[in-house]
Amino acid sequence: MTTAGEGSSIATSRVSRGAALGKLAAKQTLRRVIVKAGTIAVSETRREQLLNQADQRMARDFAAVLGQMRGAAMKIGQMLSVIDLGIVDERSQEAFRRQLSRLQASIDAMPFETVRPVIESELGPVDKLFASFDTDAFAAASIGQVYRARTHDGRDVAVKIQYPGVRSAVRADLKNLALFLRMWKSTVPTVAAQDFLEEITDGLSSELDYRQECANQARLAERFHDHPFIHVPAPVEELCSDSVLTTEFVEGMNAQQVAQLPSEERDRVGEIIYRFYIGSLFQDCEFNGDAHPGNFVYMPDRRVAFLDFGLYKQMSPEAVAMERRAAQLCSAADGEGLRELLMEAGVVRPNSSVTAEQCLQYTLDAAGWNFVDEYVVVEPIDVSSAMLGVVSPATRSFQSMRSERLPPEHLFSRRLDFLVFGTISHIGAGGNWYRIASEWIYDTPPATPLGVAEAQWRSRRKAS
Nearest to 259 by CA among 428, 430, 381: 428
What is the spatial distance between Cα 83 and Cα 8, in angstroms, rounded to a whole number?
32
Which of these is catalytic: 55, 290, 365, 417? 290
What is the spatial distance between Cα 342 and Cα 405, in angstroms, rounded to a whole number?
10
290 is catalytic: yes
What is the spatial distance between Cα 375 and Cα 194, in angstroms, rounded to a whole number?
37
Q: Are 267 and 218 in contact (CB under 8 A)?
A: no
Go through 275-291 and write b for each residue having 16 or more CB atoms within 10 A of its CB, e for each that does not: bbbbbbbbeebbbbbbb
What is the spatial distance between Cα 139 and Cα 148, in angstroms, rounded to a whole number?
10
Nearest to 334 by CA among 355, 366, 360, 358: 360
Q: Show Cβ contacts of residue 227 under 8 Å, excluding neighbours closer than 6 positions.
A: 303, 454, 457
Q: Is 432 helix (H, G, I), strand (E, B) or coil?
A: coil
Inter-CA distances, 362 with 250, 379, 431, Å = 40, 20, 23
Start-to-end C-alpha separation, the chain: 56
Residues with catalytic function:
290
